[in-house]
Amino acid sequence: MRNKYILAILLIFTILFLPSCTKQIPISQNRVVASISSDIESTNPLFAFDIDEGTISELLYLSLVQHGWDFNTGSMTTQPMLAKSWEWNKDSTSITLYLRDDVKWSDGQSVTAKDVIFSFDVYSDPLVQSKLYGSFKHFYTDTSMHVDLKKTFDVINPYKLTINFKKSSPASFYDIDFPIIPQHIYKNVSRKDFVTAEKEIKPVTDGPFELAQWNKSQSIILSANTKSFLYNSDNIEELIFKIVPNYYSQLTQLKRGEIDFMQDIRADDYPLLRGQNNLKLTSLKGREYDYVGWNNLDPEIYKQTKRIVPNKLFGSTVVRTALTYAINRAEILHEFLDNHGEVAFGPVAPIFSSAIDTSLKPLPYSPGKAKQLLASAGWKENKNTGLLEKNGREFSFTLDIPSGNPRREFAATVIQNNLREIGIKINIEKLEPEIFFQKMFARELNAWMAGWSVSIPPDLKQFWYSKLEDAPLNVASYQSKAADKVLEEIESTRSEKFKDELYKKFQEIIYKDNPVTFLYWINNLMAYNKRIKNFQLTPLGPYHRCWDWSVR
Amino acid sequence: MVKEKSAGWNGISKLLLKRVLASLVVLFLMITFLFFLLRIAPGDPSQKFVSPDLSPRLAAMVRQSFDLNSSLLDQYKTFILNLSKGNFGISYTYQVPVIEVIGQFLPFTIIFSLICFVIQISCGFVLAKFVVKNINGPRDKIISKASLMVYAMPSFVIGVALILIFSVWLNIFPSSGLSSFDFSSYNFFQKIFDYVRHMVLPVITLSFGGIAVYYKYLRDNLEEVYNKSFVENLRAHGFEEKVITRKHVIPNAVSPLIAVAGVELGLLFGGALITEVIFALPGMGRLTVNAILSRDYPLVLGCTFVSGVLIIITNLAADLLKAKMDKRIVKGILN
């Protein structure tokens, strides 16, 4: 009897487990598998708030134009997409677009001017709360920033329309560069409930890929849209985004060939991947930088009265400059990032080569110079404690960093040691990221370390404009009339050449004022399977024109 | 005899009613406490709408649509009113009703937990029975030491080690996920095999610790019962060892374990975060932690409520099982 039970159990286990012991089928199909660390929340471009959502929605829905990258000038170029050609009027306040007549939605309906107008309408509707809400600054809008459709659009025929911008506005292609959504699918959806109602609707798309499957928390499978004018039967049939939350699991799967592409690889794992014959490693110049924030205003007074009073420690340009001299940025870059990046001296990324002021060089690490500057600002060393003092006040403060970021934890320790050398005592406090960012945006922190990823083209006003209500990201509360003037000029200028000059002028101002200490630009380290061909690496992201990828 | 039986069932139904009422009160208090705790704690659900790419006006509008600008008491009233209709609200992250989100993650967690639970109990039992006749002998010493080692080992170490051995070196099992990309094109049996292939490593990872726990409990209980005088008495009366073990020792040794098993199963239903993260599985643990990190208040409350209900149900089931085995327990609990 007992033997019978054992036999039965063995049989069940054999039936279940034996087939599972076969080797995994190697990825030989015409597909590429990329890893992402968390699931997306929406494939709809209206609500594509994070990077992966943006990438996926842009592969599903076509925009009017697409951008390319000119490595010579370090700027974007504009190429046709849904619009096959265009004409700007003389003063660049209106553009006539000629749409392709061979683009169909996945349900067979044609993509026409109606869809374009509807998209502008929905994206700018305050009830919808899309990711572009409030961005239509160069358009005729009502007081709630909703685009005025009558004033803005002239439809000549289903495939030709004119978009009129505000008379004085410096409109550009960036104002019309977003995915278009189908009017016939969403026209009856209540605007107030759009965000929830659209989840019930099966995506109807017109991009180079279609949504084949979305297995929640597992994978998003896109299949090539064989009806698209971008389709080429030699290229990949499927692009799969596999959700792997654990970084080390991603690395393991990359080595095993379970995934073909991974980005944001840590510098210390990079040498280990070099020995992998199946992988090609690449380092993309980054748009992301780390900085030490010095609150230029007194956080306590600002919190209570909203008055801008210079910070007792960091309100002085001389002190901030001294602190920049005192931090060994090259050491952090070398030790932690294995030199996959470059020391920063301002907020304009090195990728914008025509806008970068090459005459400026990062301040060198010089504790002597730092001490000298601090002495000129009245900070003298107390022989007993070894710390700097001014009017009986010790130079000590708390440096807040978000927890769970090894790079910032390492950098904070280096900074702590560097500043201790010149007589400044800092206490490092790790805050849970949500709490950290809430305090940072409320301008409650005194000194902190964080990072920014800059947009293309660079949008500096949000970060550095003195009027804090208009610059929610000016968390250091930097105040400069000279910088404000340049920022206003950048905003109202059409000429790209003149803009570049203004960017350079702005960098000079920032270089002198050191509102924060810019640490380093971080390269995006990536690895992809050698079987992927036509992989184009530009600052526009690794998936730029990924429909042209093929596999060996 | 009939009278006694009906009195027993009456006791159990009384017990059931009493426990359900008490559980409802506990759930209500727990949800209320959590509601206020979440809102008092630092953090802002509209934080993700503050970014260089988004208009500053958007975050303000989102706050309003999340009803975060009204007073705490008003928010609580709305929450309770909605809850009374079985509505936890809309998840801030997923923008669909909370129940719908949980519905996508809960079935996996329940199946995964039950499989692990059964494996833990049965392996623990088999091992305990294997050593019990040879207490302090070499097999007992080896298994006890090994179980202690396994119990002390964090699940992420076990998970990573299993991936290294079975996925990287031997290339037998996939290292993550619940199914293959081509799953939808498989037939029924292939689908089952595919699930099994993906679940082997996570199930082993999550079961290891539990096996050690149940083994230790059962081993000690069995040893204790074997040493009791009534077992000696039975032996003296000439009962067969097999009969003594099956009819007398095992029921007495298993009974105290039921309460522990009830709690353990409830905890498993709450999600196994580490295992879910390592193997990229769509479970309640990952869902809850992500909801907490993104300050998705309705989803945190929904997940907590569901976990609470499951823990209560499993404990209640354990009590009922114990009561069924020993009617004195009903009296004890009722008193």
Element (H or E) spanning A93, and its range? Answer: none
B42 contacts A434? CB cut-off 8 A: yes
Angular region, A534: left φ>0, alpha ψ -120 to 50, beta rest: left
B290 contacts in chain A (CB < 8 Å):
38
Cβ proximity of A430 and A403 under 8 Å? yes
Q: Which residue of B has its CA nearest to A458?
A: B52
Which residue shows structure tokens 């999600």?
B271
The ipTM is 0.79
Cβ proximity of A122 and A181 under 8 Å? yes
A256 touches chain B (CB under 8 A): yes
A21 contacts in chain B (CB < 8 Å):
172
- State the DSSP code for B75: H
A241 contacts in chain B (CB < 8 Å):
none
Instruction: Give the three-state DSSP class for A64.
Output: coil
Helical spans, DSSP H, in B227-296: 229-236, 241-243, 250-269, 273-278, 284-293
- Given a cut of 50, whether residue B25 has pLDDT beyond it is yes
Integer CA distances (angstroms), B216 to A82, B113, B261, B262, in order:
68, 20, 13, 17
- Given a cut of 60, whether residue B81 has pLDDT beyond it is yes
- Residue A477 burial (C-beta neighbours within 10 Å; 0-12, 13-18, 19+): buried
Rounded Cα–Cα distance for residues B273 and B156 (Å): 10
Chain-centroid distance of CA A289 in Å reads: 11
Instruction: Give the three-state DSSP class for A354.
Output: coil
Cβ proximity of A537 and A528 under 8 Å? no
Rounded Cα–Cα distance for residues A487 and A505 (Å): 10
- Given a cut of 50, whether residue B6 has pLDDT beyond it is no
Pairing label, strands A396-402, A425-431: parallel
A303 touches chain B (CB under 8 A): no
Segments of chain A with pLDDT less than 50: 19-28
State pLDDT tens for residues B169-219: 898 899 889 999 888 889 999 999 999 999 999 999 999 989 998 999 888
Q: Which residues pair with A468 in a beta bridge?
A: none
B122 contacts in chain A (CB < 8 Å):
none
**All domains of chain B, ordered by start, with CATH?**
104-325 (1.10.3720.10)
Cβ proximity of A546 and A59 under 8 Å? yes
For B134, other C-beta atoms within 10 Å of its C-beta total 11
Q: From the list A17, A131, A472, which residue is nearest B56 (CB)?
A: A472
Q: Nearest CA to CA, how far is A164 from chain B (Å)?
A: 22
Here the tokens at position A520 are: 């380093």
Pairing label, strands A31-36, A550-551: unpaired
The residues, any chain, with a CB within 8 Å of residue A227's CB and separated by 6 or more, are A104, A106
Which pLDDT score, from 0 to 100, does residue B1 have? 40
B195 contacts in chain A (CB < 8 Å):
none
For A422, other C-beta atoms within 10 Å of its C-beta total 22
A197 touches chain B (CB under 8 A): no
Q: Which residue of B has its CA nearest to A435?
A: B43
| Interface test mutation site (partner A, options B38, B48, B95, max chain A beta carbons within 10 A) | B95
Q: Which of A365-379, B53-67, B153-167, B225-239 has the highest mean pLDDT?
A: A365-379
b/e per residue A303-335 (b: at least 16 CB within 10 A): eeeeeeeebebbbbbebbbbbbbbbbbeebbee
Q: From the list A245, A256, A453, which residue is nearest B175 (CB)?
A: A256
Rounded Cα–Cα distance for residues A41 and B48 (Å): 13
Element (H or E) spanning A125, and its range? Answer: none
A190 touches chain B (CB under 8 A): no
Cβ proximity of A220 and A240 under 8 Å? yes
Rounded Cα–Cα distance for residues A191 and A189 (Å): 6
Which pLDDT score, from 0 to 100, does residue B134 have? 78
B96 contacts A17? CB cut-off 8 A: no
Rounded Cα–Cα distance for residues A195 and A129 (Å): 8
Rounded Cα–Cα distance for residues B24 and B38 (Å): 21
Q: From the list B61, B171, B280, which residue is nearest A243 (CB)?
A: B280
Q: Nearest CA to CA, how far is A1 from chain B (Å)?
A: 14
Which pLDDT score, from 0 to 100, does residue A508 have? 97
Which pLDDT score, from 0 to 100, does residue A28 have? 45
Instruction: Give the three-state DSSP class for B172.
Output: coil
A255 touches chain B (CB under 8 A): yes
For A41, other C-beta atoms within 10 Å of its C-beta total 20
B54 touches chain A (CB under 8 A): yes
Rounded Cα–Cα distance for residues A172 and A65 (Å): 11
Instruction: Give the three-state DSSP class for A544.
Output: coil
State pLDDT tens for residues B113-165: 999 999 999 999 899 888 877 778 888 889 989 988 988 888 889 999 999 99
| DSSP-derived secondary structure for A171-196 | --GGGG-SB---HHHHTTS-STTHHH
Q: Nearest CA to CA, how far is A47 from chain B (Å)?
A: 10
Pairing label, strands A532-533, A219-224: unpaired
Which pLDDT score, from 0 to 100, does residue B327 have? 63
Q: Which residue of A has its CA nearest to B90?
A: A196
State pLDDT tens for residues A205-245: 999 999 999 998 899 999 999 999 999 999 999 999 999 99
Chain-centroid distance of CA A220 in Å reads: 21
**All domains of chain A, ordered by start, with CATH?**
22-58+207-260+531-551 (3.40.190.10), 62-193 (3.90.76.10), 286-524 (3.10.105.10)
Element (H or E) spanning B247, and its range? Answer: none
Instruction: Give the three-state DSSP class for B68.
Output: coil
Here the tokens at position A254 are: 């990359």
Question: Structure pTM?
Answer: 0.86
Rounded Cα–Cα distance for residues B108 and B244 (Å): 40
State pLDDT tens for residues A296-345: 999 999 989 989 999 999 999 999 999 999 999 999 999 999 999 999 99
**Of chain B residues 267-286, which have a CB less than 8 A from chain A?**
277-282, 286
Chain-centroid distance of CA B199 in Å reads: 17
The residues, any chain, with a CB within 8 Å of residue B246's CB and separated by 6 or more, are none
B193 contacts A256? CB cut-off 8 A: no
Here the tokens at position A233 are: 């039967």
Cβ proximity of B311 and B270 under 8 Å? yes
**Of chain B residues 83-112, which have a CB less than 8 A from chain A?**
90, 93-96, 104-105
Q: Which residue of B has its CA nearest to A36?
A: B280
- State the DSSP code for B175: S
